[in-house]
Amino acid sequence: MDDFERLLEQSLRREAAPFGFEQRVMALTARRRVAWQKWTAIAAMAVLTAGAGWRYEEVRRERAAGESAKAQLETALRITGAKLNKVHQTIDSMNEGF
């Protein structure tokens, strides 16, 4: 066995992990998982809140437009009806004379 082979054997020799290494790795993984879950939850909440806000705004706008259209329609029908009735009444009063 020459020097090179000895060096290679030393380098490739299985060594036990330092004391507490496994616990430290597991703790770090757990901490990262918790952090990842926390940020995922925050992102999901933000998306849900934005979605709900957007939907609320959409419904609010549609309601406002609908109420405005309804008010315009009622005004139009009121004016139209009043004019039609004016003609109706005039014709009626003329007929009464006969």
Partner 1 sequence: MRLLIAAILIAAPMVAQEIRLPANLEKTLADRASETVDVNLDSNLLQLAGRFLSDKGDEAQAKKIISGLKSIYVKSFEFDKTGEYDQADLEPLRAQLKGPGWSRLVGVSSKKKGENVEIFLRHDTNRVTGMAIISAEPKELTVVSIVGDIDPNQLSELSGHFGIPKIDTKSKKDDD
Q: Contact between 61 and partner 1 (CB under 8 A)?
A: no
Query: Smaller CB distance to partner 1: residue 29 or 72?
Result: 72
CA distances from 65 to 52, 78, 90, 97 (A): 20, 20, 38, 48
Please identify, among the stretches 1-9, 33-41, 50-58, 70-78, the one whose residues bind partner 1 according to the rule CB under 8 A. Answer: 70-78
Q: Contact between 57 and partner 1 (CB under 8 A)?
A: no
Q: Contact between 37 and partner 1 (CB under 8 A)?
A: no
Among 13, 14, 87, 97, binds partner 1 (CB under 8 A): 87
Query: Smaller CB distance to partner 1: residue 55 or 86?
Result: 86
**What DSSP string runs through the chain?**
--HHHHHHHHHT---PPPTTHHHHHHHHHHHHHHHHHHHHHHHHHHHHHHHHHHHHHHHHHHHHHHHHHHHHHHHHHHHHHHHHHHHHHHHHHHHHT-
Q: Contact between 91 and partner 1 (CB under 8 A)?
A: yes
Interface residues toward partner 1, by CB under 8 A:
62-63, 65-67, 69-70, 72-92, 95-96
